[in-house]
Amino acid sequence: MNVNRNSMSQTELAKRWSISQRTLERWRSLGWGPTYHKMGGRVIYMTRDVEAYEAQTAMRSTSEHCRVIAAGGQS
């Protein structure tokens, strides 16, 4: 577990979102997901960036998803 509450590891984020670490790796290679930092070979996600990404991807209806796709994955 990460003692620094201002950041989280790839493992911690994968656990938080119930997705695989491999999914996060793929998203990074495609430029998707929250902003990350690479420090000494370790990937670090700042908690504020994860929370901002979560807020940015919140949707109220399935029709909003269509607008996101039409915009090239950017909201």
pLDDT at 73: 53
pLDDT in tens, 22-71: 999 999 999 999 999 998 999 999 999 999 999 988 887 777 655 544 44
Cα–Cα separations (whole angstroms), residue 6 to 29, 36, 60, 74:
24, 13, 28, 25
Instruction: Check pLDDT > 80 for residue 74.
Output: no
Residue with tokens 């990074």: 28
CA distance 48 to 35: 10
CA distance 66 to 4: 37
Residues 24, 25, 30, 33, Cα dihedral to 10°:
30
